[in-house]
């Protein structure tokens, strides 16, 4: 029997199911931090490549320094030979002097190279430090987000659990035939009960015909359905209920 009292019970179940569906939607829409996690992974990859870049820059400095010191050693040896006075042959002497001049030019070039490579190495170190800092920030953001996400999920799950318990308690009071009809309608995502507010059906939103409102006023126990959507009309709720 679709009495107002029985419909009120079904209406509460319908409302609880609506709230449960809303919680499911909120839970599904939560950002679980996947995007932030991906950002962290990308930043870690960037650090790995910057570490390699820094290592290569360090090797380049060392290579240039090694070559410079070998050139310097050769210059020193030639200087010793030239100032020892053991080379008497002018042609041989000229040869040594030419070689010395060429080595000094090479030395100048290498000194510049060492400086350039050191600057490059410093820049690589700076880039790596900046990338590490950015990664630490992203990781902190990610961790905080995941923590907040888990909290939100736990809160929604608790809210859901409370609603499920409430629903079970209300379902236990429901009239069997109406409850079966409600479950069948719910499977089709159709509300079984339309609460009347401002003379309109709450299930479909359509205004009820004046004769129907009049019929209810004359007979408050009439079992009426919405002419638009077919929902059972719930005209009144127990005092104190919203």
Binding footprint of Zn ion on the chain (CB under 5 A): 194, 201, 203-204, 226, 228-229, 231
Which one, 57 or 208, has the nearer CB to Zn ion? 208
End-to-end CA distance of the chain: 23
Which one, 138 or 208, has the nearer CB to Zn ion? 208
The span from the CA of 239 to the CA of 216, in Å, is 18
Rounded to a whole number of angstroms, the minimum distance from the CB of residue 206 to Zn ion is: 5
Rounded to a whole number of angstroms, the minimum distance from the CB of residue 219 to Zn ion is: 20
Angle between helices 90-171 and 34-84 (to 10 degrees): 170
Which one, 138 or 201, has the nearer CB to Zn ion? 201
CB 20 within 8 A of CB 160: yes
209: its two tokens: 């015909």
160: its two tokens: 């859901």
Which one, 110 or 201, has the nearer CB to Zn ion? 201
Which one, 2 or 60, has the nearer CB to Zn ion? 2
Rounded to a whole number of angstroms, the minimum distance from the CB of residue 217 to Zn ion is: 19
Rounded to a whole number of angstroms, the minimum distance from the CB of residue 226 to Zn ion is: 3
Rounded to a whole number of angstroms, the minimum distance from the CB of residue 221 to Zn ion is: 20
The span from the CA of 15 to the CA of 167, in Å, is 9
Angle between helices 90-171 and 4-29 (to 10 degrees): 170
């Amino acid at each position: 029997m679709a009495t107002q009292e029985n419909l009120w019970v079904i209406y509460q179940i319908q409302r609880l199911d609506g709230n449960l569906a809303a919680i499911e939607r909120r839970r599904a829409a939560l950002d679980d931090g996947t995007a932030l996690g991906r950002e962290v992974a990308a930043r870690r990859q960037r650090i790995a490549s910057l570490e390699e870049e820094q290592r290569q820059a360090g090797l380049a400095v060392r290579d240039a320094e090694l070559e410079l010191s070998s050139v310097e050693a050769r210059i020193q040896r030639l200087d010793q030979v030239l100032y020892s006075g053991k080379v008497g042959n002018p042609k041989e002497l000229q040869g040594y002097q030419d070689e010395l001049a060429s080595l000094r030019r090479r030395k100048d070039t290498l000194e510049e190279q060492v400086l350039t490579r050191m600057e490059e190495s410093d820049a690589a170190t700076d880039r790596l430090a900046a990338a590490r800092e950015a990664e630490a920030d992203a990781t902190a953001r990610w961790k905080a987000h995941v923590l907040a996400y888990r909290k939100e999920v736990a809160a929604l799950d608790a809210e859901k659990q409370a609603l499920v318990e409430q629903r079970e308690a209300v379902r236990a009071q429901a009239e069997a035939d109406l409850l079966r009809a409600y479950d069948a309608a719910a499977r089709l995502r159709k509300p079984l009960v339309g609460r009347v507010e401002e003379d309109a059906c709450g299930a479909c939103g359509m205004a009820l015909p004046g004769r129907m409102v009049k019929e209810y006023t004359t007979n408050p126990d009439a079992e009426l359905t919405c002419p638009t959507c077919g929902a059972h009309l719930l005209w009144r709720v127990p005092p104190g209920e919203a």
